[in-house]
Structure 1
Amino acid sequence: MSADVSSRSPRGSAPRADSALAVEDRLYSALAIVRVVVTINMVGLNAYRRDNFSHPDVALAIVLGLVAWTAAAIWLYRDRARRTSAVLVVDLAIVLAAMAATPWVKSEHFNATIPGFWVMGALLAWAIHWHWRGGLVAAALISASDLLPRAEIDQSNYGNVFLILIGGPIVGFMCESLQRMARERDAAERTAAAADERTRLARAVHDGVLQVLAMTQRRGTAAGGEWADLGRLAGEQERSLRSLIRQQDTVPTASGPGAQVDLAGALEAMATAHPVRVEVATPGAAVPVDRHVAQETVAAVKACLDNVLTHVGPDASAWVLAQSAAAAITISVRDDGPGIEAGRLEEAAAQGRLGVSSSIRGRIEELGGTAVMQSGTWGTEWELTVPLA
């Protein structure tokens, strides 16, 4: 077990965050009040039962010793540096010693032990420090010390031991749960702060560097010659930088079913690797969707670009525009090809060629969305609408 509560957590668990230690500090502060109350109760009951002692002077010394230890324990547990495993062991040992002395100080037919409910101080301290395991160990030792010296066990003795045996682990479990909640809250706050900072930096980059690169690309392409090469390089860097921002802002996920990913980042990554020259415009923030939805949507957009490559050629240009709303994301995929003749898709479907229907419309409709195609001499445009809810 740990030697210092300020630096380590129970064996087998990760180091505790400051908030978890703060919760522990408050629990020990509450325990100090409990110690005072049960000590007053212990003094009063032993004074009331003073005629039951065979050795009253020894009983008085034990009671005064327990009062002195209460004051010392409150002082020791107040500071993390003093709150060591040795202190907890001594705390419980004093409880067990006082209980073990009871049959001699009173008689072998005693009814109540000298400490009585005073044992709660050590029991709860173990539960706070070592959680349910500590509460169970302390409760078992206290119960054994109470029952073993007795000549007979009545219903009252059984009830007290039963409450101790279930109370110690339950209190320990609750203390552990409170500390875990504090750590989870800290982790959530750190994640939120990191996300806010990434968003702020992404906006700064978007408003500055990305706009300059986009402007350089447009003007370089319009100027032609060597300036066109500069524009092309600027466009590549813009896409790379935008992809990097997306990777930093991707929603953290697990790999199992129901995990979420950033759809906008996935679209940019796919478009960057596609042979067709693709210009991508996505929302300024991440678009978290179910992993399956992201995979199918990206596959549908890729199918649109594959059609551009097949029917227009590698020199074609394409544009992907993603617009996110509260209920759905709409993705427009447009090219500068000659367009698709009227009735061509219906004719292909009648001949059993279902490439467009299955790879684009089929995927989107299975997600509960729609896929609408428009074509003319200006080119072809697909509008894919995918629900986010």
Structure 2
Amino acid sequence: MLSFSRSPGATLRRVSSSPAAVAVQDRLFRALAVLRVIVLANAVALNLYRWGHYRHPVAVAACVTVMVLWTGLATWLYADPRRRTRLLLGADLAIALALLVATPLVKGSGFHATVPGFWVMAALLAWSIQYRWAGGLVAGLLLASVDLSLRPEIRQSDYGNAFLLVIGGPIVGFMCASLQEMAADREVAERAAAMAAERARLARVVHDGVLQVLALVQRRGRELGGEAGELGRLAGEQERELRTLIRAQEAVTPTPADTVDLVSELSRLERSGSVTVSTPAAPVELPAAAGRELLAAVRACLDNVRVHVGDDAPAWVLVQAFPDRIEVSVRDDGPGIPPGRLEQAAAQGRLGVIGSIRGRIADLGGSAQLVTGSGGTEWELVVPREAPGLP
């Protein structure tokens, strides 16, 4: 169903600043220029064919001359968008109406076909292209009303022609507006896609260069201590601020409601001085249910670090995305888990590690590997890209 709810003024304001919409309008006026020549040739041929039936042949010739001259002038005027003013559109429609009014004067009161004939279509379509459905409706009503008012007898064909003018103008205008709006929307979408691609490219550059250097400075500074330790602390703060900026840029492009972006969600777990999260530059998406289970497993790993190593103990979360799987590692530099500790906890009915971490990952069709020792503990969580959805 056609919808004319948007006002022509609002539509004009919306597309006036869009080069794509202006280009569409230019092409429509170029097509109209071709149509003007075709309907002019038809009108000239019909008037020549009926030449012997006119009351004032010289006056008819003058009308045809006006049509020829105006067709050439209008084609030139409409070619430049700056010349498509209200004065030009008004003159175009006024000439068409004047030729209709002149018909009974030059042909006699018993005429059947007007002098301009289908030539008036050019003015109607010009109003439809420039002023959308409202312009087409106004021009159609004026042309149809004048045409019918001049006829002593309205035949069925006369009514049909008038009806086509009234209904055709708004439909053509609506279609022209739709084409321009689609062009403007496509231009906006292409611009947004280009901006998103550029953001992703810059994020990859920052991630592969600056962030890795800052992470290295932070790690080495902590190991060296002293002034180097302070330098490492400042590097760590800058790294986190850069990561926050990159993720804020990525958040401009929303993910579907049935997916979870691990980059965005895991970034919320980052805490100054304790938890550092390293992620790819682009979003990493999983089905919503699977993503929530993986996030819960990562939180369980971090909870274990706080409980068994310390509230302020540093931990690192690394996310890597592959075509077929997603790997998340959670590492700390604590004393590690003593041998047999997990088996003892399971025997006592404390299933935190088995249920909260390994159980969740197993339900997703993945694997959870634990590497622990005196240098710290690291969990390797691997889930397939097509992780099964969970209720």
Summarize deviations over 1:11-49 as a string: whole Å, max 9, x none: 453533122212211221121111111111111111212
- Contact 2:329–2:378, Cα closer than 8 Å, also in 1: no
CA 317–261 in structure 1, closer or farther in 2 if over 3 Å, else same: same
Instruction: Give the letter aligned to residue 257 of structure 2.
Output: G
**Cα distance in 1, alignment partners of residues 130 and 288 from structure 2:** 41
**Cα distance in 2, alignment partners of residues 237 and 286 from structure 1:** 21
Q: Which one of 369, 384, 387 corresponds to residue 385 of structure 2?
A: 387
Q: Which one of 279, 282, 303 corresponds to residue 282 of structure 1?
A: 279
- The answer to whether structure 1 residue 206 and structure 2 residue 207 are counterparts is yes
The structural deviation recorded for 1:261 is 7.4
**Cα distance in 2, alignment partners of residues 183 and 103 from structure 1:** 46
What is the aligned-residue identity percentage? Answer: 49
- The answer to whether structure 1 residue 243 and structure 2 residue 244 are counterparts is yes
**Cα distance in 1, alignment partners of residues 56 and 157 from structure 2:** 25
- The answer to whether structure 1 residue 187 and structure 2 residue 184 are counterparts is no
Which structure 1 residue ranges, 4+ long, deviate > 4 Å from structure 2?
A: 8-12, 259-262, 288-300, 345-350, 354-365, 368-371, 375-378
CA 171–218 in structure 1, closer or farther in 2 if over 3 Å, else same: same
Q: Which residue of 1 aligns with 2:370?
A: 374
**Cα distance in 2, alignment partners of residues 149 and 88 from structure 1:** 23
Summarize deviations over 1:200-249 as a string: whole Å, max 9, x none: 43333334322321221122122123422322332222122122122223
TM-score for the superposition, normalised by structure 2? 0.81
The 10-residue stretch of structure 1 (230-239 or 327-336) with the greater mean CA deviation from structure 2 = 327-336
Mapping 1:121-270, distance limit 5 Å: 121-253=122-254, 258=257, 262-268=261-267, 270=268
Summarize deviations over 1:263-316 as a string: whole Å, max 9, x none: 324422x1324x771232222433356788766754553344234324432132
Mapping 1:291-310, distance limit 5 Å: 298=295, 300-310=297-307
**Cα distance in 1, alignment partners of residues 61 and 289 from structure 2:** 74
The structural deviation recorded for 1:167 is 2.9
Mapping 1:38-117, distance limit 5 Å: 38-117=39-118
- When the two chains are superposed, the root-mean-square deviation of aligned CA atoms in Å is 3.4
* Structure 1: runs of 5+ lacking an equivalent: 1-7
SS in 1 for 2:125: helix
- Contact 2:40–2:119, Cα closer than 8 Å, also in 1: yes
- Contact 1:253–1:260, Cα closer than 8 Å, also in 2: no
* Structure 2: runs of 5+ lacking an equivalent: 1-8
Instruction: Give the letter aligned to residue 381 of structure 2.
Output: E
CA 253–211 in structure 1, closer or farther in 2 if over 3 Å, else same: closer
Instruction: Give the letter aligned to residue 374 of structure 1.
Output: L
- Contact 2:93–2:123, Cα closer than 8 Å, also in 1: yes
- The answer to whether structure 1 residue 313 and structure 2 residue 314 are counterparts is no
- The answer to whether structure 1 residue 322 and structure 2 residue 319 are counterparts is yes
- Contact 1:251–1:261, Cα closer than 8 Å, also in 2: no
CA 326–184 in structure 1, closer or farther in 2 if over 3 Å, else same: farther
- Contact 2:361–2:381, Cα closer than 8 Å, also in 1: no
**Cα distance in 2, alignment partners of residues 151 and 77 from structure 1:** 36
Instruction: Give the letter aligned to residue 318 of structure 2.
Output: L
**Cα distance in 2, alignment partners of residues 180 and 304 from structure 1:** 51
Mapping 1:20-35, distance limit 5 Å: 20-35=21-36
The 10-residue stretch of structure 1 (285-294 or 27-36) with the greater mean CA deviation from structure 2 = 285-294
Instruction: Give the letter aligned to residue 301 of structure 1.
Output: V
SS in 2 for 1:152: coil
- Contact 2:297–2:356, Cα closer than 8 Å, also in 1: no
Instruction: Give the letter aligned to residue 315 of structure 2.
Output: A
Q: Which residue of 1 aligns with 2:4?
A: none
Instruction: Give the letter aligned to residue 115 of structure 2.
Output: I
The structural deviation recorded for 1:162 is 3.5
SS in 2 for 1:271: coil
CA 50–294 in structure 1, closer or farther in 2 if over 3 Å, else same: farther
- Contact 1:147–1:153, Cα closer than 8 Å, also in 2: yes
**Cα distance in 1, alignment partners of residues 97 and 128 from structure 2:** 16
SS in 2 for 1:125: helix
**Cα distance in 2, alignment partners of residues 343 and 91 from structure 1:** 94
